[in-house]
Amino acid sequence: MQQRILKPLVLAIGLGLAGIAAAASDFNLDNKYNPCQDFNDYVNANWVAANPIPADQTRWGSFNELHEKSLTEQRQIAEDAAKDTAGTKPGSLEQKIGNLYAAGMDDATIDKAGFDPIKPRLAQIDALKNSADVAKFLDNSFNDGDQYVFNFGAGADFKDASKQIGFVFQDGLGLPTKDYYIKPEHKDLRKAYVAYIAKAFELTGTPAAAAAKQAESVLAFETELAKASFSPTELRNLDNQYHFVSVAEADKVSPHFSWEKFFAAQGVDVGKGFSLSQPKFFAEFDKLLATAPIAQWQAYLRLHTISSASPQLSRAFVDNHFDFFNKTLAGQPQQKDRWKRVLGAINGAMGMGMGELYVAKYFPPEAKQRAEALVTNVRNALKNRIEHLDWMSADTKKKAIDKWNDFLPKIGYPDKDEWRDWSGLNITQGNWYANLEAAGKYNYHFDIGKIGKATDRREWGMTPQTVNAYYNPTDNTINFPAAILQPPFFYAKGDDALNYGGIGAVIGHEASHGFDDQGSQFDGKGNRSNWWTATDKKQFEARTDKLVKQFDGYAPIKEKPDLHINGKLTLGENIADLGGINISYDALQTALKADPKEAAEKIDGFTQEQRFFLSWANVWRGSSRQKTAELLLNVDPHSPASVRAFAAPSNMPQFAQAFSCKAGDKMVRSGDAQVKIW
């Protein structure tokens, strides 16, 4: 199942997921470390030592703990619904979730079916005879919600964000990035990938010799696509994310693939045009359509049909998929329990539906009210910092404040009348794969149905049960799902220092994304627009270049000291961390001025300022398996958590003052080594 809906340019606090915190006053500090030298270890070493990575995880920390908590709560919802599907209202959310969960947990039926669910699609691939057949196959498969080679979905027009247009985006690779196909250091992974592909073919009845030959053919095919693909760092260049063309212009890029026929097959009118986001990639796609042997196309399409479906097929397919993508690529020793995997699929199929049930059961209204107050205070602190910047002219400041005024914060979950309607999706009892396919098609057409319509700023792009937060520059919204609004990020009854160091800095992080290297290229309406004077833009870039160099210098994997963070890939998140913690610190100071008694109070011997920074680092506690850490350095726009715990504070004189650090300490940056942006 190729069920991926394109959502370009959503900027989140972290890829990970989050957890159950210690008591509000218990930081479990390791005093053999000096906070001025090793702040992450000072705050988190004891926790990491006491909390080894579980066998079914690739990393473990605050995000992961909370994610497991969220899954446990969702499991209760799903199990209750599955037990009472007969008693629930026909067509209700509870019945759909119950039917879906019960079908996913019926592993005996799923194992018995083998790969029967994908046999019709494999038969279609076997019947292909020429490039015209391949093009028609792609047209029809996309209409079914199954995407191959590239992504197609709706998104706000970069030039007129008030409306939704179609975006087609590069995709189609089995390995993480183009480098994995080309660079010598990934030779062993390529060999393992070929073995995985061959095994996938063998499981569907292909003789071993033929399977091995076809697997090599798939690798060669994907290598050509990879060469024409942009790297994750290159994709951060907005010019590589948006390229508006008419249908006729697109057909000139790929003369062997008719975009007019493709859109007609999807039942969508793209109007004056769409974003053919990476023309070089689509030119290579067209070249392969014209020149690659049909047998090679069949092998490629067969592999991606099998591979995307494997987690939902019988045990042999599940194990083969896990062994390569989880164990070999990421170092995960053990599969997650079935109920976790089933809930993961349900979240992909009906995530907002599950979210509606989750919020009703687990998210108290008072948590939302306190979070709203924090958002207001942190936003005000951001406005104040913009107004008092010493490097920005009055003209640019005015435009920045205009954008600030247009921010739309969304907290917890959609309003009552804004939940998604699931009445058009039929989920039956006892057919796991067919139900997921139905949901995939439903979600795909829900998404592309927005093309040509007005952008809805109230729509959520992340489910309430997700432990994360995000900023979307094309609608200028900052979004904080319910599941992150709990310890160690947020304490509904906790003191200000804890909350501003945790969720306050997350709020500041997302607000700062509006002014990072990408967000700063959009105005308050979500349009890509240069609202900077030339001098101010040059000043901004000089400061961000210093942050790139700072992070380029970090080598976070002890076993691989030659592997460094990619400062350009992680720049947006690093700017947001630096801005977020500075903004939230200011908001804390404002709160403490209003309550001098609290400002002077020490808790467990720590000042309010110290507790602020301890709370910040506590959020980033955790560890990763080495293979995962190496993979993430190549693909993740976020820096490793262990670095995020100390990097931004090291640029703040307030940290040095709070902990009485001295010149020469690692946590003290001064002069050109200190980065100040927002």
Q: Please give, one letter per residue, the 3-state secondary structure of 240-300.
A: HCCCEECHHHHHHHCCCCCHHHHHHHHCCCCCCCEEECCHHHHHHHHHHHHHCCHHHHHHH
Instruction: Name 325's Cβ contacts closer than 8 Å, sequence gap at least 6.
Output: none
Region 547-556: mean pLDDT is 98
pLDDT at 597: 85
How many other β-carbons are positioned within 10 Å of the β-carbon of residue 302? Answer: 22
Residue (of 595, 583, 142) closest to 387 by Cα position: 583
Q: Which two structure tokens, joined as six digits, stand for 20?
A: 């159950």
> What average pLDDT is seen over the chain?
95
Residue 2's pLDDT is 40
* Cβ within 8 Å of residue 373, ≥6 positions away: none
Query: CB of 446 within 8 A of CB of 459?
Result: no
Q: Which residues does 600 contact at the CB level (< 8 Å), separation at least 6? A: none
What count of residues does the chain have? 678
Q: To which residue do tokens 């290297």 refer?
A: 517
pLDDT of residue 633: 97
pLDDT tops 80 at residue 18:
no
Which residues is 244 bridged to in the sheet?
A: 275
CB 277 within 8 Å of CB 167:
yes
Domains present along the chain, CATH in parentheses: 11-51+364-412+468-673 (3.40.390.10), 115-312 (1.10.1380.10)
CB–CB of 128/134 below 8 Å? yes
**Could you read off the pLDDT of 275-327 as tens digits, one per residue?**
999 999 999 999 999 999 999 999 999 999 999 999 999 999 999 999 999 99
* Residue 304: closest CA among 545, 64, 4, 657: 4
- The C-alpha angle 515, 520, 525, rounded to 5 degrees, equals 100
- How far, in Å, CA of 96 to CA of 423, rounded? 10
Q: How far apart are CA 44 and CA 22, in angstroms?
A: 12
Query: In angstroms, rounded to a whole number, what is the distance separating the alpha carbons of residues 617 and 46?
Result: 13
What is the tens place of the pLDDT at every residue in 479-497? 999 999 999 999 988 899 9
Q: How many CB atoms lie within 10 A of CB 364?
A: 13
Identify whether 488 is preceded by a cis peptide bond (ω within 30 of 0).
Answer: yes
Give the mean model confidence (pLDDT) for residues 38-42.
98
CA 262 from centroid of its chain's CA atoms: 28
Whether the predicted pLDDT of 139 surpasses 60: yes
Q: What is the pLDDT of residue 13?
A: 63
Kindly state the DSSP code that residue 162 receives in the 8-state scheme.
Answer: T
Classified as helix, coil or strand, 439 is helix
Question: Quick check: helix, strand or coil at residue 620?
Answer: coil
Q: What per-residue confidence (pLDDT) applies to 22?
A: 34
pLDDT at 21 over 70: no
Confidence of residue 88 (pLDDT cuts 50, 70, 90): confident
DSSP 91: T
Phi and psi at residue 446, to the nearest 5°: -60, -45
Would the pLDDT of 9 be above 90? no
> Residue 6's pLDDT is what?
42
348-371 pLDDT tens trace: 999 999 999 999 999 877 778 888
**Spatial contact of 519 and 532, defined as CB atoms under 8 Å apart:** no
Q: If we measure between CA atoms, which residue out of 333, 361, 335, 358 comes closest to residue 347?
A: 358
Place of tokens 């986001």: 277
**Is 606's pLDDT higher than 80?**
yes
Q: Residue 25 — pLDDT band, cuts 50, 70, 90? A: very low
Mean pLDDT of 152-173: 98
Q: What is the pLDDT of residue 507?
A: 97
DSSP string of 46-60? Answer: HHHHHSPPPTT-SEE
Among 277, 242, 247, CA closest to 526: 242
Lay out the sheet containing 477-481: strands in order across. 11-12, 470-472, 477-481, 408-412
Instruction: Give the 3-state secondary structure of 454-523.
Output: ECCCCCCCCCCCCCCCEEECCCCEEEEEHHHCCCCCCCCCCCHHHHHHHHHHHHHHHHHHCCCCCHHHEC
- Please give the Cα distance from 492 to 364 (Å, whole number): 10
Residue-wise DSSP of 560-584: -TT----TTTTHHHHHHHHHHHHHH
Query: Do the Cβ atoms of 467 and 63 come closer than 8 Å?
Result: yes
Identify the DSSP state of 332.
-
Contact (Cβ atoms closer than 8 angstroms) between residue 327 and residue 333? yes
Neighbours of 379 (CB within 10 A): 19
Check pLDDT > 90 for residue 536.
yes
Q: CB-based burial of residue 556 (10 Å sphere; 0-12 exposed, 13-18 middle, 19+ buried)?
A: buried
Question: Amino acid identity, residue 572?
Answer: G
Q: Using alpha carbons, list the distances in angstroms from residue 30 to 91, 229, 401.
A: 54, 46, 42
Region 324-339: what's the mean pLDDT? 98
Number of H-type helices and E-type strands within the chain: 29, 10
Give the Cα separation of 332 and 341 in Å (integer). 14
Question: 499 with 378: CB under 8 angstroms?
Answer: no
Q: Which residue has the tokens 């400002």?
A: 599
Number of other CB atoms surrounding residue 400 within 10 Å: 25
* CA quadruple 386, 392, 393, 397: dihedral, nearest 10: -30
Mean pLDDT of 155-167: 98
Q: What is residue 549's predicted lDDT score, i.e. its pLDDT?
A: 98
The string of pLDDT tens digits covering residues 223-254 is: 999 999 999 999 999 999 999 999 999 999 99
Q: Do the Cβ atoms of 477 and 410 come closer than 8 Å?
A: yes
